[in-house]
């Protein structure tokens, strides 16, 4: 790798780490997402949201329902501002989530994501996982 591409690679990794910290509850890092961020998440009613304010509201809703929400990313692949990764999310349902009162149950969800980073900010994030895992693990589905 050239020195310029090494620096860009390191900057992308640093931005990604701030983004992961944000998901793990450090809301002081909200500026790591672009004002116009696009988040695709199969659990969202319309499958996606747009804008930093909508992203922050979603993140606060999730963290209110699962205060110990924790993301661990593994097997990061970084190339030209794109971060691909496998992740595991854990959390305990201690607050209302999508009109469901707290169950006290723990969840563990596995998935993948593609994050596009440019100008030191996450511009787009696409999450890939089975959205039925959350209601199943909360005991909200029929066996």
Proportion of the chain above pLDDT 90, given as a percent: 88
Q: Does domain 3-137 have CATH number 3.30.70.600?
A: no
**2-53 pLDDT, tens digit each:** 555 668 889 999 999 999 999 999 999 999 999 999 999 999 989 999 999 9
CA distances from 132 to 94, 109, 122, 129, 139 (A): 19, 10, 26, 9, 11
CA–CA gap between residue 41 and residue 72 (Å, rounded): 17
- Beta strand 33-40 with 121-128 is parallel
Domain parsing of the chain, residue ranges? 3-137
Task: Check residue 2 and give its pLDDT.
Answer: 54
The answer to whether the CB of 6 falls within 8 A of the CB of 95 is no
Average pLDDT score, the chain = 94
Confidence of residue 63 (pLDDT cuts 50, 70, 90): very high
> Does residue 134 carry a pLDDT above 60?
yes
């Amino acid at each position: 790798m050239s020195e310029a591409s090494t620096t860009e690679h390191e900057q992308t990794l640093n931005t990604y780490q701030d983004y992961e910290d944000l998901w793990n509850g450090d809301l002081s890092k909200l500026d790591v997402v672009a004002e116009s961020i696009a988040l695709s998440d199969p659990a969202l009613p319309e499958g996606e949201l747009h804008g930093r304010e909508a992203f922050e509201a979603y993140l606060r809703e999730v963290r209110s329902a699962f205060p110990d929400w924790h993301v661990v990313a593994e097997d990061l692949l970084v190339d030209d501002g794109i971060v691909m990764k496998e992740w595991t999310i854990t959390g305990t349902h201690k607050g209302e989530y999508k009109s469901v009162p707290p169950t006290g149950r723990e969840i563990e969800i596995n998935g993948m994501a593609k994050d596009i980073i440019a100008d030191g900010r996450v511009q787009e994030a696409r999450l890939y996982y089975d959205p039925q895992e959350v209601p199943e693990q909360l005991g909200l589905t029929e066996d």
